[in-house]
A and B are shown apart, each in its own frame.
Chain A
Amino acid sequence: VDEEEEYECVSVLNSHTQDVKHVVWHPNQELLASASYDDTVKLYREEEDDWVCCATLEGHESTVWSVAWEKGGERLASCSDDKTLRVWRRHQPGNQEGVSCSGAEPTWKCVCTLSGYHTRTIYDVAWCHLTGALATACGDDAIRVFEESPSSDPLQPTFSLAAHVPRAHAQDVNCVAWHPKEPGLLASCGDDGDIAFWRYQRPEG
């Protein structure tokens, strides 16, 4: 971006009723996801020169702190103060799974809820676009990595805990990010003021 150019605000969306904690763009479409203190995830797309909220994902029981798109963009992961990680899947109108849609708008359904792994608020989730692994940043100072079981049903996927570092940071872990080009390289940061680099290897067998 040329330093001389200015940014112009083209739209303000106030669908959420409380603070918005995170926004993230879809990997290949003009679709935006947001996470909020109002316990929902919302999706937005452009319609006739303005942006509209095209979906609201409800299910979390407390603040949603972050969302992450899967590489292909058909699924979304969200993490919350309710200590769960949820995976949502898009169903297009006329889908074979028999999921009803209103009009031409796809429906998003929660197809997996991972609970019992995190002991405090989950502040961030990152979905690796190279390996499909999910990493989480938690208020219990730990980093966890989840992998999808290879044989799992796309409509009811199962994820298992593949790695857990209990004291990744001396305080809350706030953010995790997978390197876009180097598989297994993960960066994290926390309230302790540290940035850490990790190398993750999928467990054998």
Chain B
Amino acid sequence: MSLVLGLLSQTLSRLLRDSGLHRGCHAPPNPAMEQDKALEVYDIIRTIRDPEKPNTLEELEVVTESCVAVQEIGEDEYLVIIRFTPTVPHCSLATLIGLCLRIKLQRCLPFRHKLEIYISEGTHSTEEDINKQINDKERVAAAMENPNLREIVEQCVTEPD
């Protein structure tokens, strides 16, 4: 297997770049590390405020420690999966919460990661539609260009002084 990989990498070599990157071997899964990372993620998302109510997502149980799953997918890279439970079955609020989660983690999560956000199963009638939207990076960027949405997101994710 490694011989085949060696042949493949020889046929695609870099021009004009010295990135300093090295391709390390994939480390065996480390549950303790993954758990640590999951807590790191949770610490960031639990203080996000609900768009409607004067409470945090943790207080409203929209997110819980167990709703964050982390998997190592490469050298120092992790897949973070969050399943949140919206308080009301209202589509626009669910997508707004998804947006807040994504934006805050994008800004605050220090380690290299890929992020997937889902509504926990069975909590919403249009959950597939919502999941698709909040995981489409172009739609997320477009949403953040909307000044009203952006303002709401900023208020939800900004840490109080």
User: Which residues of A are interface residues toward B (Cβ below 8 A)?
Assistant: 19, 21, 37, 62-63, 81, 119-120, 139-140, 143, 145, 161-167, 170, 172, 194, 196-203
Q: Is B138 an interface residue (CB 8 A)?
A: yes
- Shortest Cβ distance from residue B17 to the other chain A in the assembled complex, whole angstroms: 6
Chain A neighbourhood of B11, CB < 8 A: 162-163, 200-203
Whether B12 and A145, one on each chain, are in contact in the complex, defined by CB atoms closer than 8 angstroms, is yes
* Assembly CA distance A37 to B21 (angstroms): 34
Chain B neighbourhood of A165, CB < 8 A: 9, 12
Whether B17 and A196, one on each chain, are in contact in the complex, defined by CB atoms closer than 8 angstroms, is yes
Whether A163 and B23, one on each chain, are in contact in the complex, defined by CB atoms closer than 8 angstroms, is no
Given contacts A63-B132, A120-B114, A203-B7, contact A167 B17 (CB under 8 A): no
Chain B neighbourhood of A19, CB < 8 A: 138-139
Pick the most buried of A62, A161, A163: most chain B CB atoms within 10 A of its CB. Answer: A163
- Shortest Cβ distance from residue A196 to the other chain B in the assembled complex, whole angstroms: 6
Q: Is B30 an interface residue (CB 8 A)?
A: no
* Assembly CA distance A162 to B23 (angstroms): 19
Chain A neighbourhood of B14, CB < 8 A: 196, 198
Residue in B closest to A172 when the chains form the complex, CB atoms? B137
Q: Is B13 an interface residue (CB 8 A)?
A: yes
Whether B8 and A164, one on each chain, are in contact in the complex, defined by CB atoms closer than 8 angstroms, is yes
Residue in B closest to A63 when the chains form the complex, CB atoms? B136
The interface size of chain B toward A, counting residues with CB under 8 Å, comes to 21
Chain B neighbourhood of A199, CB < 8 A: 12-13, 15
Given contacts A165-B9, A203-B7, A203-B8, contact A170 B21 (CB under 8 A): yes
Q: Is B1 an interface residue (CB 8 A)?
A: no
Chain A neighbourhood of B3, CB < 8 A: none
Residue in A closest to B16 when the chains form the complex, CB atoms? A197
Chain B neighbourhood of A170, CB < 8 A: 21, 112
Whether A198 and B8, one on each chain, are in contact in the complex, defined by CB atoms closer than 8 angstroms, is no
Chain B neighbourhood of A172, CB < 8 A: 137
Chain B neighbourhood of A164, CB < 8 A: 8-9, 12
Whether B15 and A198, one on each chain, are in contact in the complex, defined by CB atoms closer than 8 angstroms, is yes
- Shortest Cβ distance from residue B3 to the other chain A in the assembled complex, whole angstroms: 13
C-beta contact mask, B107-141 vs A, less than 8 Å → 1, else 0?
00000101000000000000000001000111100
Residue in B closest to A201 when the chains form the complex, CB atoms? B11
Given contacts A140-B114, A170-B21, A203-B7, contact A163 B136 (CB under 8 A): no
* Assembly CA distance A120 to B80 (angstroms): 13
Chain B neighbourhood of A201, CB < 8 A: 11-12
Known: A63-B136, A194-B17, A196-B16. 20 other contacts (CB 8 A): A19-B138, A19-B139, A63-B132, A120-B114, A143-B12, A163-B8, A163-B11, A163-B12, A164-B8, A166-B74, A170-B21, A196-B14, A196-B17, A197-B15, A198-B12, A199-B12, A199-B15, A200-B12, A201-B12, A203-B11
Chain B neighbourhood of A162, CB < 8 A: 8, 11
* Assembly CA distance A65 to B114 (angstroms): 19
* Assembly CA distance A196 to B16 (angstroms): 8
- Shortest Cβ distance from residue B76 to the other chain A in the assembled complex, whole angstroms: 11
* CB contact list, B2-38 vs A, under 8 A: 7-9, 11-17, 21, 23
- Shortest Cβ distance from residue B103 to the other chain A in the assembled complex, whole angstroms: 15
